[in-house]
Amino acid sequence: MNDNQFPVRTVYELFAAAARRWPERPFLSILPETADAYGIEAGERSYRDMLDAVDMIRAQYAKAGYRAGERVMLLLENRPSYFLHWFALNALGLSVVPVNPDLQSAELAYMAGHAEPVLAIATANRIADLEQASRASGVGFPVISGDMELPALRADEMGDVEPSPSREAAMLYTSGTTGNPKGCVLSNAYFLHAGHWYAHAGGVCALHEEGERMITPLPMFHMNAMACSLMAMITVGGCLIVLDRFHPKSWWQSVRDSRATCLHYLGVMPSILMKAEASAQDRDHSVRFGFGAGIDPRLHIPFEERFGIPLVEAWAMTETGAGAVIAANREPRRRGESCLGRPEAEVETRIVLDDGSEAAAGEPGELLVRRAGPDPRYGFFSEYYKDPQATTDAWDDGWFHTGDIVMRDEAGDFFFVDRKKNVIRRSGENIAAVEVETVLMQHSDIRAVAAAAAPDALRGDEVLACIVTDGARSEEAARAIVTWALERMAYYKAPGYVAFIDALPLTPTQKIQRGELKKLVPSLLADPATVDTRTMKKRLVPS
């Protein structure tokens, strides 16, 4: 990436520049509902006050001997402390590893061992879990809450470090198809470009520098909120209204109370909101547009007509960042057709068939993307950490292979079709089937297992576990397996359906025939013997 692309070099420098330009403007807004969930004070924090707090924490890290190139895990949900620690660490050249609070013991231990952090900062109720992960991983890092004394790493203070756009700013974990999640290394330039792209995207989702207020219920451990929402608001001097999560019953009241001018969504949100009874207040808000992905095509037009908010569908991945966004931000948006719009001139695309040949107009194929110009990886992730082969494979022939199936029509519009990769997409979360299978295979009664995506009207996909067992095949046995799984993996990854079968469809080399498994799903869902365990999947409530 071009280190001279921006007048600033790091995320911290961008925030500091915004604080100098708009010191009295609100940077962060915490609504009473979110404050109650977190046990913190509601209200707004100005750019100046946040920068002062960041610089104070930065000095503490420097004095304690934290140095550029090291990593700190953050399990702080969407709390203000998340932003304070990230910016402070970024100023010193350290990287953060945001942690999904729904992860359980085995997942935390894997992440800790892979990222090798020097410290973890967590909410008080998760300190013990991360301490266990620290021990289990063998890394042995200390774990503290935000109000505990910072443990010193070295007796000497850290010297000055030259800020660099190419330096790692964060490592986000994304589910792949080969087992454990991959660590996506994201540079300062990745985040700077994301903010720059959004601020200048224009069209239906145009942002202004006169008091934008963006509301998002999406988690900061995902690139959507961390790279898009957050960086866009900093770039234009806007206010980020960050919720602890999506609360359907109070959503519109939060939108009204926050005076939001724009919002972010995932497909499950419009589906839920459309189920509510129509109200005279449905259009009582200040929102100009929503930005997201995955809305049910049948609901796109009805939602916009009911709530008066254009929903801009877009495509991107953690790996691509804003380097290869495709967004339907210009009219006509082809509402109700799963239309992603057209790539801008800065994005080069190919749609290829399984044999590598080019797909014709109207023919589905895998989407390949890269940046136009001298650096095809500009704006993308830097690498998969500790997995150079996966990085090389993803960039085969100089194109990033997305694993997503799309179609382009004669007019040049792109339409999302399906996912080529064996990933289950549940309520915006990517779940690797292999990761689910790896955990379930540790159960003493399970001889073989395969996970597949089952259609879910509300969540898009649900996890269906096809289990070959030496034990009982009863509903009680299925629920016992799910209870066991919930202690070892994030709730959304656990099976929502359990089907006991005699044998898995396998290839001659004993690999799961994913295509055949997919064909089995409808009949298994219709089978009364398949156990519906969806009500067992409950998200942890912050304490």
pLDDT at 429: 85
Which CATH code for domain 11-154+165-406?
Answer: 3.40.50.12780
Q: What is 424-536's CATH topology?
A: GMP Synthetase; Chain A, domain 3 (3.30.300)
Residue numbers in the chain where pLDDT is lower than 70: 1-5, 155-160, 175-179, 421, 507-510, 540-543
Amino acid (one-letter) located at 335: R
Residues 522-538: tens digit of each pLDDT:
999 999 999 999 999 98
Euclidean distance between CA atoms 124 and 263, whole angstroms? 30
pLDDT at 179: 63
pLDDT at 159: 57
DSSP 8-state secondary structure symbol assigned to residue 227: I
pLDDT at 3: 40
Token pair for 91: 């100023």
Listed by start position, the domains of the chain span 11-154+165-406, 424-536
Euclidean distance between CA atoms 275 and 112, whole angstroms? 40
Fold equal for 11-154+165-406 and 424-536: no
Euclidean distance between CA atoms 243 and 258, whole angstroms? 11
Q: Which long-range contacts (CB under 8 A, 24 or more apart) does 210-213 make?
A: 211/25, 211/238, 211/239, 211/261, 212/236, 212/237, 212/238, 212/239, 212/261, 212/262, 213/29, 213/238, 213/239, 213/241, 213/258, 213/259, 213/260, 213/261, 213/262, 213/286
SS3 84: helix
**Nearest C-alpha neighbor of 262 from the set 219, 297, 222, 211:** 211
In this prediction the pTM is 0.86
Per DSSP, helices labelled H in 8-142 are: 11-21, 32-38, 47-63, 80-91, 105-115, 127-137
